Structure 1
Amino acid sequence: MTGEIRRPLAALTLAVLTGVGLVGPAQLAHADASHARGPRPAMQLPFPCEQKWRLNTWGHAPALDMVREPQRATNGSKLIAPAAGTVVMSKWSNGAGHSVKIDHGGGWYTVYIHLRVRSVKVGDRLTRGSVLGQVGGTGTNGNTPHLHFETWYDKNGDGKTGWGGPGVERVPSVFNGAVYGNRDGQEYRNVSSNNCNVGELGPH
């Protein structure tokens, strides 16, 4: 367990190794049937091309905790936008540390928590591959360095999404056509980023 992300025993018990497969349009349509106000953005992992990462749901699906493979390379790893959007939150909080939230349009948002460094501010317009900052372990809930990642869908159209609790609007994430995080206790090893051919882009 040395150097590994630590979670409560109940969550660790759930962390069994499972596979992930590609899904077709019909499966994605079914997954999004109750969240169909706007098309889901075509997202890639929020890391540079061909980097390999481990994704875990632990006990908080559909949220994902991500560490680089090998894990010792996680702290300070570059974080980049998985799709175009606008920064609607960039702040520090004691629990979450450095955090960023992106509005991708159509009611879709992504959230990034425990960053070591933030490189964007509210209002920045991003393209896929824009640098958001660095992965870290900040905040009282940061633990070992990792990226806590969430995808949100504003299904009731009120223009807001919450952080947790009853009625939250978190949904499983889709990267490069594969669904991740549809239940607790999932682990995906050596997931390779296809966030390629984007160069060193920044906010504009």
Structure 2
Amino acid sequence: MSSTRLRTARLRFALLAFLTALGLALGLGAATAGAAGSGTATASAPAAAPPAGKPAFQLPFACGTKWRLDTWGHNPALDIVKEGNPGSDGLPVYASAPGTVSAAYWDDGSGNTLQISHGNGWFTAYYHLQEAPTAYVTVGSQVTGATQIGRVGKSGGANNWAHLHYEQRYLASGTFTDETHRRPVHFGGAEYSGAERTWASVTSGNCAQPQTAPYQPWNCPNGSVCFFSETGGRGTVCKTDRNVPASTCGLRKSFFNNGHPQAGVDHAYVSFTEGGTSCLHHGWADGRGDFAAGGRTIRSVTWGGECP
């Protein structure tokens, strides 16, 4: 994707946001302002079904999160950012469906790039990832929708705009595809395709399995305390927003309440099967709570007031 096209996409995004706000101020709908002012059609109910044999692809993001999809000038590919485009940089990217990593490479245009083969000739491609394409997976890695494959970034020709350029491709034979093999994108069985189209808020249905995640605040919902089972804050995430008298969640790292104060549940007391207790609180700006090194098993979690 050329830097000129990316600059054009970013200008369109800014213009669409401005015209949407102006339309709202005039009592017009956001979709009307976007379509009339920018030439971008805002779609809300895609209906076209995927072809027979196509995998049941889902948005490559955490279950329940909301995203903005744009075809801009490279339909049927998509540029994807967080709903409203705030803070997309660094958000985790997951595989769209089970498959095998077939290519991981750097390209001056697409930056840190991954391709995944999903069988029956179907592939997905992920551009502009933040870290090296082998930071989370390598060629030959088996992945599912629960597998983090990277993070949203702005590598290569992304022109300092953090977003995921995403494609679904079809090639009956072979392990490597290119942009000539692109096909209309489907998520959850609905088609997101068409020249110059926008879907302002699409919810990820990538919910089949618990998703592994790095130790970052966006992985812990507001009002919850989250415990990560492996070193570095990876592995199974155990979450609770209430008192839990017993748990088998092994602990390495944790997040509390995503850094947001919440009356009555600003602190969580944690006791361990191996003995001892600790207290998590939102006091740090990012809501982080580190326990002592080494895995321990949580015996109970009690929500309360101030930590002693």
1:177 to 168, 189, 199: 189
Whole-Å separation in 1 of the counterparts to 2:182 and 2:41: 23
CA contact (8 A) 1:15 1:56 kept: no
Answer yes or no: is 1:16 the counterpart of 2:16: no
CA-CA distance at 1:184 after TM superposition:
1.3
Q: SS at 1:151's partner residue?
A: strand
> TM-score w.r.t. structure 1 length?
0.80
1:93 to 107, 111, 118: 107
- Structure with the largest fraction of helix: 2
Which has the higher Rg, Structure 1 or Structure 2? Answer: 2
CA-CA distance at 1:73 after TM superposition:
1.5
Whole-Å separation in 1 of the counterparts to 2:156 and 2:81: 17
Once the two structures are superposed, residues 57-115 of structure 1 have per-residue CA deviations (whole angstroms, 9 ceiling, x without a partner) of 00110000000124122000000011100000111222211100000000000000000
Q: SS at 1:67's partner residue?
A: strand
1:131 to 123, 144, 148: 148
CA-CA distance at 1:6 after TM superposition:
3.4
After TM superposition, the structure 1 = structure 2 runs for residues 29-68 of structure 1, keeping only pairs within 5 Å, are 32=51, 39-68=53-82
- Give the total of aligned pairs: 182
**In the alignment, what sits opposite 1:194?**
205
Answer yes or no: is 1:120 the counterpart of 2:121: no
1:74 to 88, 113, 122: 88
Once the two structures are superposed, residues 15-67 of structure 1 have per-residue CA deviations (whole angstroms, 9 ceiling, x without a partner) of 513214253xxx53xx63xxx6xx10001100001111100000110000000
- Cα distance, 1:10–1:75 mapped onto 2, change above 3 Å: closer
CA-CA distance at 1:11 after TM superposition:
7.3
Q: SS at 1:190's partner residue?
A: strand
Amino acid corresponding to residue 202 of structure 2 in structure 1: V
Indicate the percent of aligned positions where both proteins have the same amino acid. 37
Point out where structure 2 has 5 or more consecutive residues left out of the alignment: 1-5, 14-36, 214-308
Q: SS at 1:7's partner residue?
A: helix
CA-CA distance at 1:200 after TM superposition:
3.0
CA contact (8 A) 1:11 1:185 kept: no
Higher relative contact order (CA 8 A, sep 6+): 1
Amino acid corresponding to residue 119 of structure 2 in structure 1: G
Once the two structures are superposed, residues 118-137 of structure 1 have per-residue CA deviations (whole angstroms, 9 ceiling, x without a partner) of 41110001112211010000
CA contact (8 A) 1:53 1:191 kept: yes
> TM-score w.r.t. structure 2 length?
0.54
RMSD: 2.5
